[in-house]
Amino acid sequence: QHKNNLERLAKLNNVHAVGYITQKDAPAYVAYFDVFLIPYRNSLYNTSSFPLKFWEFMATGKPIIVSGLPELHKYQPLINYAYNAGQFIEYIQSALKDPHVYEDKRIALAKQHTLEKRYQKILELVSTLFLLNIFIFLSLEHVH
């Protein structure tokens, strides 16, 4: 059934099934997107899933429609979180009519979540844990 759905989609004038593209070529394709879709199914696994592509999408400022990922719910109203297929379609139509709503705010928030900033946060956490372990080790040395 999924194959039939994909074949039907590929026949639409506004859908282009381009196949695999390299990471280097991706920005050229993304420039032509009107709306980003993150259509996950509700599942226990997705309860705590957070796709990193979310921040890449946010950095463009373009509208994002999400379903099935509760971790992204908190980014409303910068994104539209759909709970059913009807809402998903409604949000797409709305985003196409007015794509610039919250554009600047999406870009600004994405700038706070760059890979460099994530890397820096990881380094800070590792440094803190390292210092904590040294402190605990030194403390245990003097317990005798």
The distance from CA 130 to its chain's CA centroid, rounded to whole angstroms, is 31
Of all residues in the chain, what percent carry a pLDDT higher than 70? Answer: 92
**Is residue 81 a contact partner of residue 66, using CB atoms and an 8 Å limit?**
yes
**Model confidence at 121, in pLDDT bands (50, 70, 90)?**
confident
Query: By CB neighbour count within 10 A (0-12 exposed, 13-18 middle, 19+ buried), where does 51 fall?
Result: middle
Instruction: In whole angstroms, give the CA distance from residue 78 to residue 103.
Output: 8
Q: Stretch 48-70: mean pLDDT, rounded? A: 94
Q: Which pLDDT value is given to residue 142?
A: 60
* HSE of 10, CA atoms in CB hemisphere, 13 A: 9
Report angle CA 8, 10, 13 to the nearest 5 degrees.
105
Coil, helix or strand at residue 36: strand
- Whole-model pTM? 0.76
**How many beta carbons lie within 10 A of that of residue 75, not counting itself?**
17
